[in-house]
Amino acid sequence: MAIDYVALGDSYAAGAGAGDPGPDNPCLRSRGAYPVQVAAALGVDLAMQACQGATVADVVAGQLGPLAPGVTLVTVTAGGNDLGFAHVLTECAKPAWMGDSDPVIDAALTVLREDVPRRLADLYDRVRRAAPDARLVVAGYPRLFAGEDCNLLTFFSDHEMTRLNDAADELAGVIGAAAEQAGAEFVDVRTVFEGHAVCQTPEWIRGVSHPIEVSFHPTTAGHDAYARLVLERLGRPEVPEPAREPRVVQGAPTGARTRFELPDLLGEESLHGARRSGLDPDEVAALARAAPDDDAARQRLADLDAHVRSRGTPPGLTRPVHP
């Protein structure tokens, strides 16, 4: 049976966060993913190639196999992992005594400005050549934050949340421009996600979650929103009842197994940083042990973080930038 629709990209296309990924699912693909919903609404078969951790280069190297002249629809959500999505969030979630996240964000923005436009242009060109009859729909990413961090043992500051949202806006601009240049159709999801960011009600972007890999990914409701927007772009303003259960052909895993990590407040980076920042590392360790079950301990850690931020990061605590 011929494949009508090919879904390319990273965890935002694979469906991480849209339901329990289950065991033996390194790509974190979900039946709630927006491509599966789109395929069901259109009554077409789907090659699900999108995979957690995939960069644009991973999509090019490992996801384009099902593309062919008979394919009628291709969707793509890719580019976030080129900026080190999980690594940047991990660094920003750390308290101020563990260092300064600005260099990490700056490095991600350098990649965005200097490398991502060329990488996306190459990807879209390859898709066009391999599936010349397909509609190419490129879906972007939402802003994650609305000025509040309500998660247990994360320390996103107002400054960091603002910078991350600004980066999401800049990424949307880059993806949209590359899509337009390629003659693709860009679906900008930022507006529809307003009011549904991390810690808002209803929340369409998960905060810290279990399993940890799905943290900061769209919920099932978020993928519903993605699917509605893609279908609207395809001329289906009313989402129909599924025409039939789509046949979903799973592609091979592509990309690195990257994931967000909670700050290790008992690790050497934290305790050394606390000492350098003028804090008592023994107190920090005791608070870290108590915090999961103690509101007062969590508040004390938040107060220490705010105290260090108000004084600035001590010399020598700039966080290393990983490639």
145-202, pLDDT tens digit by residue? 999 999 989 999 999 999 999 999 999 999 999 999 999 999 999 999 999 999 999 9
Per-residue model confidence (pLDDT) at position 237:
67
* Identity at 202, one-letter amino acid code: P
Cβ atoms 176, 137 nearer than 8 A: no
Cβ atoms 121, 197 nearer than 8 A: no
3-state secondary structure of 178: helix
* Identity at 141, one-letter amino acid code: Y
Residue 184, both tokens: 């693709």
pLDDT in tens, 114-155: 999 999 999 999 999 999 999 999 999 999 999 999 998 999
User: CA angle, 122 as apex, 174 and 227 as ends, to 5°?
Assistant: 60
Q: Sort residue 83 into left (φ over 0), alpha (ψ -120 to 50) or beta.
A: alpha
Where are the domain boundaries for CATH 3.40.50.1110 in the chain?
5-250
Per-residue model confidence (pLDDT) at position 246:
83
Q: Which of 11, 101, 215, 270 is catalytic?
A: 11
* Identity at 65, one-letter amino acid code: G
Please tell me the total number of residues recorded for the chain in this structure.
Answer: 323
Q: What residues contact 188, with CB distance under 8 A and at least 6 apart?
A: 140, 172, 176
**Burial 104-126, CB ≥16 within 10 A → b, else e:** bbebbbeebeeebbebbbebbee
Cβ atoms 150, 102 nearer than 8 A: no
Our answer to whether residue 11 is catalytic in this structure is yes
Q: What residues contact 206, with CB distance under 8 A and at least 6 apart?
A: 17, 198, 214, 215, 216, 217, 218, 219
Q: Is the peptide bond before 95 cis (omega within 30 degrees of 0)?
A: no
Cα distance between residue 263 and residue 300, in whole Å: 16
Our answer to whether residue 196 is catalytic in this structure is no
Ranges of residues in the chain with a pLDDT under 50 are 315-323
For residue 124, which of 140, 136, 142, 107 has the smallest C-alpha distance?
A: 136
For residue 12, which of 187, 129, 174 has the smallest C-alpha distance?
A: 187
- For the CA atoms of 202, 18, 32, 9, what is the dihedral angle to 10 degrees? 120
Cα distance between residue 299 and residue 291, in whole Å: 9
Q: Which of 30, 101, 196, 217 is catalytic?
A: 217
Q: What are phi and psi of 93, to 5 degrees?
A: -75, -10
Helices 281-290 and 295-311, axial angle in degrees (round to 10): 140
Per-residue model confidence (pLDDT) at position 238:
67
pTM, two decimals, is: 0.92
CB count in 10 Å sphere of residue 172: 19
**What is the end-to-end Cα distance of the chain in Å, rounded?**
42
Which CATH number does the domain 5-250 belong to among 3.40.50.300, 3.40.50.1110, 3.10.310.40, 3.40.50.150? 3.40.50.1110
Residue 3, both tokens: 């494949």
Cα distance between residue 71 and residue 73, in whole Å: 6
Per-residue model confidence (pLDDT) at position 20:
74
Compute the radius of gyration of the chain from its Cα atoms: 21
Residue 322, both tokens: 């990983």
